[in-house]
Structure 1
């Protein structure tokens, strides 16, 4: 092969060192390392007690209740929120107004107030009766027997979370261009078929990311049920440190389990986004973007040396 037809030589691009970024990274790394060493070497955190209570039966039982409560509330809130979102988008002004008022009330009142209200509903409504005209009263139940602390927590958190889910679903549906439904109707599809076959699959990719964030927020919101004596993770930790006075170690244990569950949920959310966002390259790779950016930053910092 002649010299003129030889393959071009690959050149390595050498970036100019950014000394300001390097100094800032060194300072931040030093401060982070100092903080970790300071916390890890502080005997007042009682790390032995943290290890002892990390897999304590009461803590694990509370964790299971927290996960179960989160799953039940998320399921109910998703179904109810979807129904409310469809009501808001309905052509009926009555349905749209009812849905708007529902979102306004349950999104505006703090979740803790709703939780305490449902827990004490028996003070104003002592009995729940089912009456059919012409047949009389079918049955009557005592409100306090029906609304146990766990039931009150499920109702309060579901109604509160459904208001946020309604807005998430509504925004996802509105994100699909109107022309998509019009094109489906022009092909002979009914309005229901156009929604479930054309609009809903596209809206799902926009609904998944905020729904994942809502699920993570709901997991942390369940810690409020300790105020109505539901034996969740936080309540279990409180019950222990109320006897042993090991407050900080138990709070560290609770924080560890919340962080662990949130980490797993975040990874699952990333895979869901990648699956339902296959038509969008950005959605497919969004979950790994922070890791790839961090890796690229470290490589550039190393090359700048």
Structure 2
């Protein structure tokens, strides 16, 4: 092939490469397909499996774990009652903490500098003071304040009452956990709200949507995607942190385990009893977190990935379909004669 321009000499051009319709498919078909191999990946996986198997074997055969004592105490009435107390502390602390935290987050997001300062001071104080100090303070409220009253600020008191007997050990624990949780919940909620693009609020305001409806129908569903992971992590942390109320002699899980191994001297198996219940209930909370996050992810994912249960059902259906089609595919041919 040549290119001619006016009176200039012809310039030879290189021949075009072979098109896909000539020899390229035959060349590709003749190539040998070799699957990718990852020997180091398999070696690392095998090593990890061996380490895990050794650990499980050691736990099963080492007499120091004393699994007989573990089985004797893991489902006793005392332990089950203490698990129920732990769940109560977690539930009340979570509900009250996040309700109060939502209000504090609203104050931090308000346009009033006074309300912003009050909310910031609350968060600063309750995140700075250790939880055990807060619990001891509320437990000894009657020592610090003999009487509480309602009346005119800096004026006469209209109604007053003694603080002795108002807050028992359980009430003081719930109050301390809820106030402590509210400081962290406020920042979690505020972070999820400010992560929503402001352009959506501007568009909603341009359409004349009321502010409450904007917050409830537009901001909150999107903010929940950012709030839920951190909130679930905080709930699980609170569930395990309820063990700190042992200083108030409340019969929650860790306190009862301490009482039992203080009487029997079986420290390791009783600690494994507490560990078993913490792991079991934390796993249930994690499963609940997964499905709640999946629910609020509907707006971002048109087709959410299948759940583990759906994957297991699909795998079982695939195996059943394979078994049904296997005999027909391997049946001998009759050559077309009856």
- TM-score when scaled to structure 1? 0.85
Matches within 5 A, 1:76-225: 76-131=96-151, 136-141=157-162, 143-225=163-245
User: Does structure 1 residue 20 correspond to structure 2 residue 20?
Assistant: no
SS of residue matched to 2:240: helix
Is residue 273–residue 284 contact of structure 1 (8 Å, CA) maintained in 2? no
**Alpha carbons of 1:227 and 1:24: their partners in 2 closer, same or farther (altered >3 Å)?**
same
SS of residue matched to 1:128: strand
SS of residue matched to 1:48: helix
Q: Would you say how many aligned residue pairs link Structure 1 and Structure 2?
A: 280
CA displacement at 1:226 relative to structure 2: 0.8
Q: Distance in 1 between matches of 2:75 and 2:303?
A: 37
CA displacement at 1:136 relative to structure 2: 4.9
Is residue 147–residue 160 contact of structure 2 (8 Å, CA) maintained in 1? no
Q: Distance in 1 between matches of 2:107 and 2:124?
A: 14
Query: What is the Cα-based RMSD across aligned positions, in Å?
Result: 2.6
Deviations 1:61-80 (A, max 9, x none): 00001001100110001100
- Residue 273 of structure 1 aligns with which residue? 293
**Tell me, which stretches of 5 or more residues in structure 2 are unaligned?**
1-28, 313-338
Tell me which structure has the larger Cα radius of gyration: 2
CA displacement at 1:44 relative to structure 2: 1.6
Q: Distance in 1 between matches of 2:247 and 2:117?
A: 33
Q: Which runs of 4+ in 1 moved over 4 A?
A: 132-136, 282-288
Q: Distance in 2 between matches of 1:271 and 1:168?
A: 20
Bigger RCO of structures 1 and 2 (CA < 8 A, at least 6 apart): 1
- Residue 92 of structure 2 aligns with which residue? 72
Matches within 5 A, 1:248-287: 248-281=268-301, 284-285=304-305
SS of residue matched to 1:26: helix
- Residue 39 of structure 1 aligns with which residue? 59
User: Does structure 1 residue 238 correspond to structure 2 residue 258?
Assistant: yes
User: Does structure 1 residue 61 correspond to structure 2 residue 106?
Assistant: no
**Tell me, which stretches of 5 or more residues in structure 1 are unaligned?**
1-8, 293-305
Q: Higher helix share goes to which structure?
A: 1
Deviations 1:8-46 (A, max 9, x none): x9xx97533222222222222111111111111111211
Deviations 1:166-220 (A, max 9, x none): 0111011101111111111111123222222221222122212211111111100
Is residue 275–residue 284 contact of structure 1 (8 Å, CA) maintained in 2? no
